[in-house]
Amino acid sequence: MPPVRVLTVEGATVTFGGRRVLDGVSFSVEAGEFVGLIGANGAGKTTLFRVVLGLLKPSAGTVRHLGRRVGYVPQKVAIEPDAPLRARDLVALGLDGERFGVRLPSRSRRERVDRMLEAVGAAAFADARVGTLSGGEQQRVLIAHALVGQPSLLVMDEPLANLDIKSGHEIVELVARLAVEQDLAVLLSAHEMNAILPHMDRVVYLAEGRAVSGTTGEVIRSDVLSELYRYPVKVLDVDGTVVVVGGHDVKVR
| Interior angle at CA 32, CA 30 and CA 33, nearest 5 | 60
Binding mask 89-108 for another protein (x = CB under 8 A): xx--xx-xxxxxxxx-----
- At its nearest, how many Å lie between another protein and the CB of residue 102? 5
Q: Determine if 81 is a binding residue for another protein (CB under 8 A).
A: no
Run of H or E residues at 61: strand 60-65
91, 113 contact by CB (below 8 A)? yes
For 77-232, strand residue ranges (E) read: 153-156, 185-189, 202-207, 210-215
Q: Determine if 86 is a binding residue for another protein (CB under 8 A).
A: yes
Q: Which residues pair with 70 in a beta bridge?
A: 153
- At its nearest, how many Å lie between another protein and the CB of residue 223? 36
Tell me how crowded residue 1 is: count the other CB atoms within 10 A of its CB. Answer: 3
158, 189 contact by CB (below 8 A)? yes
- At its nearest, how many Å lie between another protein and the CB of residue 50? 9
Q: Determine if 109 is a binding residue for another protein (CB under 8 A).
A: no
Run of H or E residues at 170: helix 165-181
Q: Determine if 55 is a binding residue for another protein (CB under 8 A).
A: yes
- At its nearest, how many Å lie between another protein and the CB of residue 90? 7
If the CB atoms of residues 86 and 221 are measured against another protein, the closer one turns out to be: 86
Q: Determine if 32 is a binding residue for another protein (CB under 8 A).
A: no
Q: How far is Cα 194 from Cα 46, in angstroms, rounded to an integer?
A: 20
Q: Under rule CB under 8 A, which residues in 126-145 are in contact with another protein?
A: 129-130, 145
Q: Determine if 72 is a binding residue for another protein (CB under 8 A).
A: yes
Q: Under rule CB under 8 A, which residues in 166-225 are in contact with another protein?
A: none
Q: Determine if 85 is a binding residue for another protein (CB under 8 A).
A: yes
Q: Determine if 110 is a binding residue for another protein (CB under 8 A).
A: no
Q: Position 249: which residue type?
A: D
If the CB atoms of residues 77 and 172 are measured against another protein, the closer one turns out to be: 77
Q: Which of 182, 206, 186 is nearest to 44 (CA)?
A: 206
Q: Could you give the 3-state DSSP secondary structure of residue 24?
A: strand
Contacts with another protein, residue ranges (CB under 8 A): 53-55, 70, 72, 74, 77, 79, 82-86, 89-90, 93-94, 96-103, 129-130, 145
